[in-house]
């Protein structure tokens, strides 16, 4: 089962599939290599609002796809971010989406570095750099950050730091990652003796030299520094730092984050919570049964996005204040 714990897997994959003729490549230059993305700008004169789409956990590319298996013989293939960018462009909103550092077209940005060098803060720094790049672009008016899944926390921290004009959380966790991982492992029937001491140590900032073999993929020594850096963040506390009203969107059929997560984020002063009945973690409506979800919307790029989600983002972007 694909869960938020896949964020611990930092992997590489083939370059994302080609985009439509209306889009063009965009590059963020960093000290360790380029982070590559796709820009989609609506036709027409004048400035457009622009959205930065911050991708979710694991080796997720700019289109919302990943080599992580989610069903027999099938990997995560939703095209959710590509579909969102297209839907926004048809409504006059520009967007930039990108391959995370070390993933797909951004593999070279990890050149000379090992998995143990990567930190949660690295993703925040990259998102913040994208915000600065877009803010300096004279083609764009206001700048909104949209973070999905793990990208919700990354996006909200970067948006607050760089004073973005708006922030939208899509299926983001409302609790620290260690709390969510504990819950997910317990739900899968993993005995607490297998993970309790490891998580206790990582929460305290200490690595563990002998993680259980059965959980090696999650707690391998090379990924522990990343987990320690991730566990320090409390999403509710971070969202409080954002200066403008934010929008929190949570689907009721999400198997990875819960309605309770959405309500926690929505409790932050200035945040508006929108619960969408039937929407899954991959931003599409789907069945509540996990196996049915993984065999359908998680692996069907043709399945449409939840239309109410798209409409809510468009409305929020329209209402967001322009920078002075």
Q: Cβ–Cβ contacts within 10 Å for residue 32, how many? A: 15
What confidence tens digit (pLDDT) does each residue in 55-106 have?
Answer: 998 899 999 999 999 999 999 999 999 999 999 999 999 999 999 998 999 9
CA distance 19 to 302: 15
Tokens of 117: 């060098």
Going by the DSSP 8-state scheme, the letter that residue 140 receives in this structure is E
CA distance 65 to 75: 8
What confidence tens digit (pLDDT) does each residue in 123-148 have?
Answer: 999 999 999 999 999 999 999 999 99
pLDDT of residue 109: 87
* DSSP string computed for 33-96: EEEEEEEE--SSSS-EEEEEEE--SSS--TTS--S-EEETTEE----HHHHHHHHHHTTT-EEE
Identify any residues that bridge with 190 across adjacent strands, giving them in sequence order: none
CA distance 139 to 298: 35
How many residues does this entry show for the chain?
A: 324
pLDDT of residue 114: 80
pTM for the whole thing? Answer: 0.91
Task: State the Cα angle at 217 between 213 and 223, rounded to 5°.
Answer: 115
CA distance 95 to 159: 15
CA distance 47 to 44: 9
Helix (H, G, I), strand (E, B) or coil at 144: strand
Tokens of 57: 């956990």
CA distance 257 to 125: 24
CA distance 108 to 29: 11
Backbone angles phi, psi at 298, to 5 degrees: -75, -15
Backbone angles phi, psi at 125, to 5 degrees: -60, -40
Tokens of 34: 């380029």
Task: State the Cα angle at 255 between 115 and 83, rounded to 5°.
Answer: 75
pLDDT of residue 110: 81
Going by the DSSP 8-state scheme, the letter that residue 115 receives in this structure is G
Residue with tokens 């090992």: 114
120: CB partners within 8 A, 6+ apart: 154, 226, 229, 230, 232, 233
pLDDT of residue 25: 96
Tokens of 238: 């971070």
Tokens of 135: 């803010």
pLDDT of residue 8: 33
- Region at 46 (left for phi over 0; alpha for psi -120 to 50; beta for the rest): left
pLDDT of residue 12: 28
pLDDT of residue 11: 32
Under 8 Å between Cβ of 70 and 76: yes
Sign for the pseudo-dihedral over CA of 7, 12, 15, 17: negative
Closest Cα partner for 145 from 123, 122, 166?
Answer: 166
Residues of the chain with pLDDT under 70: 1-22, 112, 323-324
pLDDT of residue 46: 86
pLDDT of residue 4: 35
């Amino acid at each position: 089962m694909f869960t938020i714990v896949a964020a611990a897997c930092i992997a590489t994959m083939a370059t994302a599939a080609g985009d439509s003729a209306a889009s063009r490549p965009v590059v963020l230059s960093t000290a360790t290599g380029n982070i590559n993305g796709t820009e989609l700008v609506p036709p027409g004169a004048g400035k457009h609002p622009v959205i930065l789409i911050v991708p979710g956990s694991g080796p997720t590319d700019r289109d919302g796809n990943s080599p992580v298996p989610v069903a027999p013989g099938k990997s995560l293939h939703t095209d959710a971010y590509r579909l969102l960018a297209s839907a926004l462009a048809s409504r006059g909103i520009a967007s930039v989406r990108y391959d995370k550092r070390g993933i797909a077209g951004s593999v070279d940005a990890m050149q000379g570095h090992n998995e143990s060098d990567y930190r949660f803060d690295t993703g925040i720094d990259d998102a913040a750099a994208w915000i600065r790049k877009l803010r300096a672009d004279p083609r764009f008016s206001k700048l909104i950050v949209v973070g999905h899944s793990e990208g919700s926390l990354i996006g909200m921290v970067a948006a607050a730091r760089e004073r973005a004009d708006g922030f939208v959380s899509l299926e983001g966790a409302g609790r620290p990652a260690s709390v969510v991982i504990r819950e997910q492992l317990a739900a899968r029937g993993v005995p607490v003796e297998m993970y309790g001491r490891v998580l206790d140590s990582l929460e305290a900032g200490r690595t563990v030299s002998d993680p259980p073999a059965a959980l090696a993929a999650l707690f391998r020594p090379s990924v522990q520094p990343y987990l320690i850096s991730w566990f320090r963040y409390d999403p509710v506390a971070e969202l409080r730092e954002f200066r403008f009203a934010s929008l929190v969107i949570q689907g009721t059929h999400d198997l990875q984050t819960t309605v309770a997560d959405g309500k926690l984020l929505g409790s932050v002063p200035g945040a508006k919570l929108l619960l969408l009945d039937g929407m899954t973690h991959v931003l599409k409506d789907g069945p509540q049964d996990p196996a049915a979800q993984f065999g359908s919307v998680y692996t069907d790029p043709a399945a449409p996005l939840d239309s109410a989600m798209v409409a809510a983002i468009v409305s929020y972007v329209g209402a967001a204040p322009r920078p002075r």
